[in-house]
Amino acid sequence: MSNEVLNYDKVAEASLVKAQRDGAETMWDRRAAQKTQCGFGEAGVCCRICAMGPCRVSPVPGKGAERGICGANADTIVARNFARMVAAGTSAHSDHARDIVHALHHSKAEGPFKVRDEAKLRRIAAEWEIADADTKETYALAHELALMALEEFGKPFGTQRFLKRAPQARQDIWAREDIAPRAIDQEVTTLMHSTHMGCAADYESLFRRGMRTGMSDGWGGSMIGTEFSDILYGTPTARASSSNLGVIDAEMVNILIHGHDPNLAEMVILAAQSPEMVEMAKAKGAKGINIVGMCCTGNEMTMRHGIKIAGNFYQQEMCIITGAIEAVVVDVQCIFPALPELAKTYHTRFISTSQKAKIAGDMYIEFSEATGLDNAAEIVKLAVENFPNRDAAKVEIPDIKQDTMVGYSVETIIQHLDAVVNSQLEDGLGTVKPLTDVIYAGVIRGAAGVVGCNNPKQQHDYAHITVMEELIKRDVICVVTGCAAQAAAKAGLLTLEAKEKCGRGLFEVCERVNIPPVLHMGSCVDISRILHLVNLCADLKEIDPALLPVVGIAPEWMSEKAVAIANYVVGSGINTYLGVIPQVLGSPNFTKLMTEDVQEFIGAHFVFEKDPIVMVDKIMEDLEAKRVALGI
């Protein structure tokens, strides 16, 4: 067990002590077993792309082998490895989006998949220039739009439709630098081809191709995932929820939904609401059914239904260790393969549901759009029937939970801003003008999107919370998604009271607009909401977003998806700060390209900084420099 994690998080302390007592293995045990991690892998200079290898070149230039058998040097190997992370990350977000669009294609008036935000359906249909978008029959329009969205994955010509949401200045840069993404599947496939043995060996070219692929995530897959989820399940609105392991209820049947895709979660919520299911739970001695969420499925459910957040990525094992979870139900992404084995230490059933993420060890109930509600009912029934198997002696739920506010979609943020505009002769009503006004006036110094995962290379949640607290103290408003958002929820930063931690300017804005200083904007695909918000601000000012005092931050990232995200955020003109250093340092050339040279042609760059306090200092310098350049 690591002491680092115990220092910051009291929930972790209790859970890990219990895990030891129960004989349950956790990520901390496995991390300790890994001992020192591979220095070649860490530097990105290990290549196993072909069967002449694996080859590893020296992570320190000038020492040891400088080329693999084929002659690839550190620059090529690092660039190829990095590009493959972008391709994998992009594929994950985008394949998630494809499932959402398929569900929309299955939608019908009688449900269970149906259009819940018709206004957004018609708005996007008009944006995509479908004729008669305002009058067409709802489901005819939904199916037509879904087909168009599916073409975004494989269309033979043209670039992503949502790129037009960016100001012209940014679109011009994308055209000039050839990073405007074409069909999503094409970008992923082409990048995999480029990184095949014997193809691209020019590190800068690989970096640029990687950025274009990442762009197909942010402006393609992720944006489609977000917008089409809103059409199907409703655009999130501000609402109260609760977070941390204390939301698990000892007297209820607890179902933990973990993963990323709202399709499964929405069906489980529907199934669990049925009176027969609730009656069945009561007949088994429970007070009812308590659905709790984890990672981005958790974010999707809390944003739209106020479903409680059991925790973020690194708490997935801790949930099971409470001994009070009847079923862990997972869809895709960020699920530890260790979970089924851990579940066996308790009565918990582990149920995987997607061909894309079938996890051996317990149970598999395949979820499909055609039979979604039936699949969900089977899962809920299984959980309910498992309730009597709970071992009371093993139940210990940490008594820690935190109230939180969630649901700040772009639309909801604009609605809140409207409340301020009304007193100003309706100038800017329905727009982000009040937000740009306070930024330009200097009341707020800038804005930061804080996103991403947990990673044991950082003290858990500490980097997230330190960065956010330091930023709001210095009048920088934060918008958050993913596990960063859940860290903020647990730390009480997503509350109206958190304004007490702000500088004077941000305090006043929070008070007037009646918002927390840290706004929960959703899941990781919902970073597209942040992108949209920034671009609305830039559009209003008719400038390239790269000129605005805004930054992207991933203090504790770990996944390939995060690499794809970082690429599209930088590609969109926003400097991106990484608290975990990507595996690229074995190539000083590639590192310099990411952290300096890319600025020349994209207008933004990556910053690597492990220390959250130093990171915030750098961010403030960055934001203030942007302000000076804008003359504000």
**Which residues make up the interface to Fe ion (CB under 5 A)?**
296, 482, 524
Cα atoms in the Cβ-side hemisphere of radius 13 Å centred on 272: 24
Q: What tokens were used for 223?
A: 């944006």
Q: Which stretch binds ligand SF4 (CB under 6 A): 52-60, 347-355, 369-377, 577-585?
A: 52-60
Strand partners, 518: 478
What CA–CA distance (Å, rounded) separates 513 from 509?
6
Contact 407, 236 (CB under 8 A): yes
Among 17, 50, 513, 547, binds ligand SF4 (CB under 6 A): 50
Contact 280, 213 (CB under 8 A): no
Site for ligand SF4 in 237-266 (CB under 6 A): none
Cβ proximity to Fe ion: between 225 and 573 the closer is: 225
Count of residues near ligand SF4 by CB under 6 A: 14
Q: Does 65 bind ligand SF4 (CB under 6 A)?
A: no
What CA–CA distance (Å, rounded) separates 570 from 224?
20
Cβ proximity to Fe ion: between 310 and 524 the closer is: 524
Q: Does 52 bind ligand SF4 (CB under 6 A)?
A: yes
Residue type, 35: K
524 binds, among ligand SF4, Fe ion, none (CB under 5 to 8 A by kind): Fe ion
Alpha-helix residue ranges (DSSP H) falling in 453-559: 462-473, 482-490, 504-513, 527-541
Cβ proximity to Fe ion: between 386 and 576 the closer is: 576
Residue 197 CB, nearest approach to ligand SF4 (Å) = 4
What are the DSSP calls for 122-146, one per residue?
HHHHHHTT-TTTTTS-HHHHHHHHH
Q: Is 447 helix (H, G, I), strand (E, B) or coil?
A: strand
Contact 301, 291 (CB under 8 A): yes
Q: Does 69 bind ligand SF4 (CB under 6 A)?
A: yes
Q: Does 55 bind ligand SF4 (CB under 6 A)?
A: yes
Cβ proximity to ligand SF4: between 72 and 324 the closer is: 72
Q: Does 154 bind ligand SF4 (CB under 6 A)?
A: no
Cβ proximity to Fe ion: between 397 and 524 the closer is: 524
What CA–CA distance (Å, rounded) separates 593 from 588?
8
Q: Among residues 413, 605, 405, which one has the least CA distance to residue 509?
A: 413
Q: Among residues 541, 514, 622, which one has the least CA distance to residue 168?
A: 541
443 binds, among ligand SF4, Fe ion, none (CB under 5 to 8 A by kind): none
140 binds, among ligand SF4, Fe ion, none (CB under 5 to 8 A by kind): none
Residue 71 CB, nearest approach to ligand SF4 (Å) = 7
| Residue in the shown chain whose Cβ atom is closest to Fe ion | 524
Q: Sort strands 308-311 and 476-481 into parallel, antiparallel or unpaired.
A: unpaired
Residue 67 CB, nearest approach to ligand SF4 (Å) = 8
Residue 207 CB, nearest approach to ligand SF4 (Å) = 18
Residue 37 CB, nearest approach to ligand SF4 (Å) = 20
Q: What tokens were used for 296?
A: 């981005």
Among 39, 54, 388, 588, binds ligand SF4 (CB under 6 A): 54
Residue 48 CB, nearest approach to ligand SF4 (Å) = 6
Residue 607 CB, nearest approach to ligand SF4 (Å) = 29
Residue 482 CB, nearest approach to Fe ion (Å) = 4
Contact 384, 286 (CB under 8 A): yes
| Tokens 């956790």, residue located | 26
Q: Does 70 bind ligand SF4 (CB under 6 A)?
A: yes
Residue 361 Cα to chain centre, angstroms: 27
Burial class (CB in 10 A: 0-12, 13-18, 19+), 529: buried
Cβ proximity to ligand SF4: between 52 and 60 the closer is: 52
Cβ proximity to ligand SF4: between 150 and 201 the closer is: 201
Among 14, 43, 72, 524, binds ligand SF4 (CB under 6 A): 72
Q: Is 153 helix (H, G, I), strand (E, B) or coil?
A: helix
What CA–CA distance (Å, rounded) separates 107 from 122?
15
Q: Which stretch binds ligand SF4 (CB under 6 A): 53-61, 421-429, 444-452, 476-484?
A: 53-61
Cβ proximity to Fe ion: between 83 and 524 the closer is: 524
Q: How many CB atoms neighbour CB 381 within 10 A?
A: 16
b/e sequence 404-418, b meaning 16+ C-beta within 10 Å: bbbbbbbbbbbebbb
Q: Is 170 helix (H, G, I), strand (E, B) or coil?
A: helix
Binding track over 20-49 against ligand SF4, x by CB under 6 A: ---------------------------xxx
218 binds, among ligand SF4, Fe ion, none (CB under 5 to 8 A by kind): none
Cβ proximity to ligand SF4: between 41 and 288 the closer is: 41
What CA–CA distance (Å, rounded) separates 95 from 625?
38
296 binds, among Fe ion, ligand SF4, none (CB under 5 to 8 A by kind): Fe ion
482 binds, among ligand SF4, Fe ion, none (CB under 5 to 8 A by kind): Fe ion
478 binds, among Fe ion, ligand SF4, none (CB under 5 to 8 A by kind): none
Residue type, 481: T
Edge-to-edge order in the sheet of strand 402-406 = 363-364, 349-352, 327-330, 253-259, 289-294, 308-311, 239-243, 402-406
Q: Does 197 bind ligand SF4 (CB under 6 A)?
A: yes
Residue 200 CB, nearest approach to ligand SF4 (Å) = 12
Cβ proximity to ligand SF4: between 30 and 48 the closer is: 48
Interface residues toward ligand SF4, by CB under 6 A:
47-50, 52-55, 68-70, 72, 77, 197
